Structure 1
Amino acid sequence: MSNKGLIIEERSRDIGDFLVGRLLPFRKKRMVGPFIFIDHMGPATIKPGNFVDIGQHPHIGLSTLTYLFEGELQHKDSIGSNQIIKAGAVNWMTAGKGVTHTERTPEKLRNGTTTTMHGFQIWVALPKELETMEPEFHHIERDALPKWEENGAHYTLIAGEGFGKKAPTPVHSELFMIEIKTSEATKLNIVDQVKGEIGICVVKGSISACDEVINSGNMVVSKTEDACKVEVAENTHLLLFGGEPFEEERHIFWNFVASDKSKIEEAKTRWKNKEFPKVPEDNSYIEMPS
């Protein structure tokens, strides 16, 4: 999904062991592990006149992860993928040297019905040595993702490794993304369960950390790997994510991510000159912001 106009500027604050802000990137913390962009989509009402219709746009240097709580989305890309994603499944597209894709409300939902769409669009930067790899697309059905319960919390491992489990999502670096839903108040014990930097998106409900309550719509980032002493309220919905950070800085412009600014300049020229590969049978084109 294009990130034009989607990054919500944070009101970040420091509460001790954690930074609190509105999703990624925010000023005090540009990345969490390899995660460089997180956009909370919806919940939005999908109906005639309000369908999702995101035309062709490019990516380089990253993988996109789409995960829905509600609704459906149709992904098509320049390597020939055509996949409808439903709630609980994962779309994982690795752009590498360059890919173009579209995201739209599926045809079967354009019959006058009203549905809800709610989920997350996530970008994961690629390791430097894989930034120009061949593009790939993988779809993982919800039943293939590891799920378990512990202390009144339901866990789903969306990508990477955590809590002694490994998801089938074919990631390219050490990372984790875990959905957590609580039916009762519980303590979240993350120590030694995941590796690297740790972020928590509060989708619904609230958590307590460092004697502060963090409500839905916010993200907390742990400043150290083992500082996560978090209490989770009942009926709370979280995304726990992070991993090992890269040594090199990542630059981001529009939908392009790279460790070398010259790769971004090259991609800008290619998109302006319409030299990226195209999605088959699609003539849409999203202009690059100036």
Structure 2
Amino acid sequence: MSNVGMIIEERPANIGNFMVGRLLPFKGKRMVGPYIFIDHMGPTKMNDHENLDVAPHPHIGLSTLTYLFEGSIMHRDSLGTEIEIHPGAVNWMTAGKGIVHSERTPEYLRHSEKSMHGLQIWVALPKENEYMAPTFTHVEANDIPYWEDGDVTYRLVAGEAFGKKSPVPVYSKQFFLEIHSLSTQTLNIGQHLFGESGLYILEGSVEIEGNTYGPKQILVAKNATLCEFVIHENTTVFIFGGEPFPEERFIYWNFVASTRERIEEAKQLWLDQKFGQVPGETTFVPLPPDYGAKPASSQPSA
């Protein structure tokens, strides 16, 4: 019996002036462990008058994980944080009860040709952390756990796996692991995983039970502890997931919560502009049309 429970294809989505490939949420599988949202940005080239400009917008009930392969983003938030992220580093912003941030091309790059490629990820917070004070952590690339096993390299971007722990301050049991192989070989890593797991193919291909899968796909395992696959040469994949929550999650725009009431509260706060301001910013993204708080899953995750 196959351990591939679902295949999720990347779909185009517009985040303002930038197109991305959306992976999560997906109609048939809204979350993998605590991971509730994944966008693949690029790869794209921008000319001397094209820039990434995501104006100030709010979040609640989640942590954002920004991870770049190419390019640079200037992050600013209502805590007063202003920091540029480069490839391999991690921006980890925990919204808790509420935070506002913007993401833009740094000023020194705005009038030159540039590239952009990376992942934008949301990790839902446990119910007991939904009203925590917001925080921001930047982790440099050199501080991310890295190790090699023959032709295979591993980076533990967030969480715990393989007896190692990332310095990214997560709030639930989870893992986000980058694997790159220079040669074709079989990997059996299920004994290092737990909860639910998904495998995202960034480049190259993998083979599972005689079937070959390529880029821009997430394969969701039926059982994380049975994670075994053939990784082909020059392939990069991400393994992510962890323990699912016992409660359902609702998602509306940039808000994630365990109740619809919390979503409604956040919507009103943003309409009243009571989330806080991002220093140096004068614009903001308005609340979108009200389609209601959608369940992040059709039933509780566990």
Establish whether TM, by shorter chain, passes 0.5: yes
Residues 152, 186 of structure 1: 8 Å contact kept: no
For 1:152, the equivalent position in structure 2 comes to: 151
C-alpha separation between the residues in 1 aligned to 2:288 and 2:87?
31
Partner of 1:66: 66
SS class of match (1:226): helix
Q: Deviations over 1:200-229 (max 9, x none)?
A: 110001111132111101111101122322
Report the secondary structure of 1:192's partner residue: helix
Q: Which moved more, 1:70-79 or 1:18-27?
A: 18-27
1:11-48 Cα shifts (integer Å, max 9, x gaps): xxx96533111221112211001000000000111332
Q: Are 1:234 and 2:221 counterparts? A: no
Give every structure 1 segment of 4 or more consecutive aligned residues whose post-TM-superposition deviation is greater than 4 Å.
none
Counterparts of 2:226 and 2:4, CA distance in 1: 6
CA distance in 2 between counterparts of 1:137 and 1:188 reads: 34
- Find the counterpart in structure 1 of residue 17 from structure 2: none
Residue identity matched to 2:224: E
Bigger mean CA offset, 99-108 vs 208-217: 208-217
Q: What SS does the corresponding residue of 2:191 show, helix, strand or coil?
A: coil
- Please tell me whether the aligned partners of residues 15 and 212 of structure 1 are also in contact (alpha carbons under 8 angstroms): no
Q: Is the 8 A contact 2:194 2:225 kept in 1?
A: no
After TM superposition, the structure 1 = structure 2 runs for residues 95-174 of structure 1, keeping only pairs within 5 Å, are: 95-110=95-110, 112-174=111-173
Sequence identity (%)? 49
Letter in 1 for 2:277: K
Q: 2:193·2:225 contact (CA, 8 Å) conserved in 1?
A: no
State the one-letter code of the partner of 1:20.
Answer: I
Aligned to 1:19: 6
Count matched residues.
276
**Counterpart contact for 2:252–2:263, Cα < 8 Å:** yes
Residue ranges of structure 2 left out of the alignment (5+ in a row): 10-22, 290-302
Q: Considering only aligned residues, what root-mean-square deviation do their CA atoms show, in Å?
A: 1.3
Tell me, what secondary structure is at the counterpart of 1:76?
strand
Residues in 2 aligned to 1:231 and 1:18: alpha-carbon distance in whole angstroms: 17
TM-score, normalised to structure 1, is: 0.92
Aligned partners of 2:2 and 2:201: how far apart in 1? 16
Tell me if the contact between 2:56 and 2:284 (Cα under 8 Å) persists in the aligned partners: yes
SS in 1 for 2:194: coil
Counterpart CA distance in 2 for 1:267 and 1:219 is 31
Tell me what 1:10 maps to. Answer: none
